[in-house]
Amino acid sequence: MKRRSWLSLSGLSSLLAIAAHATEQEAPSTPSWEVGAEGFRWIVYGGLFGLLLATVVLLAIWFREWQKGKLW
């Protein structure tokens, strides 16, 4: 691996370590981080929209390849 990737990896790990330390400092009991109503809505409807998009894209690709006779 190149030096850059080692650097980025060690950067990432120290970031995680700091984050871990921070959560430890802020909350003496078991820390928690609850997703709010807005975030929850994004997750739920995002997943639903993603599935819809995937279905439409798959059908569109199929239609185009079918028209060109390039399905297989």
Q: Note whether 35 and 43 are within 8 A (CB).
A: yes
43 near another protein (CB under 8 A): yes
How far is Cα 70 from Cα 50, in angstroms, rounded to an integer?
26
| Least distance to another protein, CB of residue 61, Å | 4
Closest residue by Cα to residue 36 from 24, 28, 44, 27: 44
- The structure tokens 């691996």 sit at 1
Query: Can residue 22 be called a binding residue for another protein (CB under 8 A)?
Result: no
Q: Which residues bind another protein (CB under 8 A)?
A: 1-2, 5, 8-9, 12-13, 16-17, 20, 23, 29-37, 40-41, 43-48, 50-52, 54-55, 57-59, 61-62, 65-66, 70-72
